[in-house]
């Protein structure tokens, strides 16, 4: 099972141009801070958030209650000139969960209904496989030498964009996984449990399609943050051992604070 929350700014398009178009740098600052706040709050509770389209964000929220969602929603309402609606969905795969969460939110009205504000809905499905959340942390081998110190800053963006565009689509089509660019040369996928050969196939095909060599750390856990942290430790193992896939075996030292 995986729990996904779809977050949507309420009636945001009209707000950006009322009474006059607002300064773009301020809108960028607003969107970025709102995202940072969601990261910090969902993160504190063991969740993960990705910026998506900035006005529509996707969070992985296994173990986070509706009431806790409500507190975060309220905090956004108190701190920002815009408010957010949230829809919590569950499914056997990330794809299923985001479909349910999205459909439930859309049922509440349009994202540009002036009346639909601060919706908080939760999906109530019971028959789900109880499985761990999987996180694959993909990273380019030697991005510094091959891209960052080599190409101009804009072409480097285009290069990374080819990679994540390709990866996002294949992971979704082939494995029901949702993938997100998280900066630098990193792409994080939230996945159902993946086999070794699946991970292998993914990075082989990326190499074929984009000529970029990826490495991947894979982790499983009860919460996205547990799985993600294990994925990161496994990615470090790749670096140490010079391999391109590491998974599960990592014995992750857990500090008391973690």
User: In this complex, which beta carbon is closest to ligand GTP, that of residue 27 or of residue 128?
Assistant: 27
Residue 91 makes CB contacts below 8 A (sequence gap 6+) with 1, 2, 4, 97, 98, 99, 100, 125, 128
User: Does residue 128 come out as left (phi exceeding 0), alpha (psi in the -120 to 50 range) or beta?
Assistant: beta
Distance CA 250, CA 36 (A): 29
Taking CB under 6 A as the rule, does residue 182 contact ligand GTP? yes
Residue 16 sits in the site that holds ligand GTP (CB under 6 A): yes
Cα–Cα dist 138/141, whole Å: 10
The residue among 62 and 139 lying less far from ligand GTP, judged by its C-beta, is: 139
- Which among 110-118, 126-134, 208-216, 241-249 is the span making contact with its own copies, rule CB under 8 A? 110-118
Q: How many helices (H) and strands (E) does the chain have?
A: 8, 10
Contacts of 4 (CB under 8 A, 6+ apart): 58, 59, 60, 61, 88, 89, 90, 91, 94, 97, 98, 100, 101, 178
Residues 36-65 that bind ligand GTP (CB under 6 A): 55
Report d(CA 160, CA 240) in Å as an integer: 24
- 34 Cβ contact partners less than 8 Å away, ≥ 6 residues apart: 9, 76, 80, 82, 84
- Member of 4, 88, 140, 160 binding Ca ion (CB under 5 A): 140
| Contact partner at residue 199 from Ca ion, its own copies, ligand GTP, none, CB < 5 to 8 Å by partner kind | none
142 touching ligand GTP, by CB under 6 A:
yes
> Number of residues in contact with Ca ion, rule: CB under 5 A?
4
Give the CB-nearest residue to ligand GTP: 184
3-state SS, residue 254: coil
Q: Which of positions 14-73 make contact with its own copies (CB under 8 A)?
A: 17, 20-33, 35-37, 39-45, 47-56, 58, 66-73
Tell me which residues in 177-236 interact with its own copies (CB under 8 A).
178, 182-185, 188, 225, 228-229, 232-233, 235-236
The SS3 call for residue 170 is helix
- Using CB under 5 A as the criterion, what x/- string covers residues 11-50 for binding Ca ion? ----------------------------------------
Chain positions 213 to 252 lying near ligand GTP, rule: CB under 6 A, are: 232, 239
Binding residue (CB under 8 A) for its own copies from 124, 127, 153, 197: 153
Binding interface with ligand GTP (CB under 6 A): 12-13, 16, 21, 24, 27, 55, 139-144, 182-186, 232, 239
């Amino acid at each position: 099972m995986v729990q996904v929350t779809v977050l949507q700014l309420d009636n945001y398009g009209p707000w950006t141009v009322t009474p006059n178009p607002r300064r773009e740098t301020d809108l960028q600052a607003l969107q970025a801070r709102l995202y940072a706040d969601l990261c910090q709050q969902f993160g504190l509770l063991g969740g993960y958030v990705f910026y998506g389209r900035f006005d529509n964000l996707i969070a992985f929220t296994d173990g986070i209650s509706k009431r806790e969602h409500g507190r975060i929603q309220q905090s956004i309402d108190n701190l920002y000139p815009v408010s957010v609606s949230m829809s919590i969905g569950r499914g056997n795969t990330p794809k299923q969960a985001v479909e349910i969460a999205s459909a439930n939110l859309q049922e509440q009205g349009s994202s540009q209904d002036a009346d639909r504000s601060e919706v908080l809905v939760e999906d109530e499905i019971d028959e789900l496989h109880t499985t761990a959340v999987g996180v694959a942390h993909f990273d380019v081998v030697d991005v510094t030498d091959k891209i960052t110190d080599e190409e101009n800053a804009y072409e480097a963006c285009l290069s990374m964009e080819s990679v994540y565009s390709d990866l996002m689509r294949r992971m979704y089509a082939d494995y029901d996984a949702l993938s997100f660019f998280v900066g630098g040369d990193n792409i994080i996928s939230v996945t159902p449990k993946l086999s070794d050969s699946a991970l292998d196939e993914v990075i082989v095909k990326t190499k074929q399609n984009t000529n970029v060599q990826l490495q991947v750390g894979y982790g499983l856990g009860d919460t996205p943050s547990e799985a993600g942290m294990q994925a990161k430790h496994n990615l470090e193992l790749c670096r140490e051992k010079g391999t391109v896939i590491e998974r599960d075996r990592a014995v992750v030292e857990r500090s008391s604070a973690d």
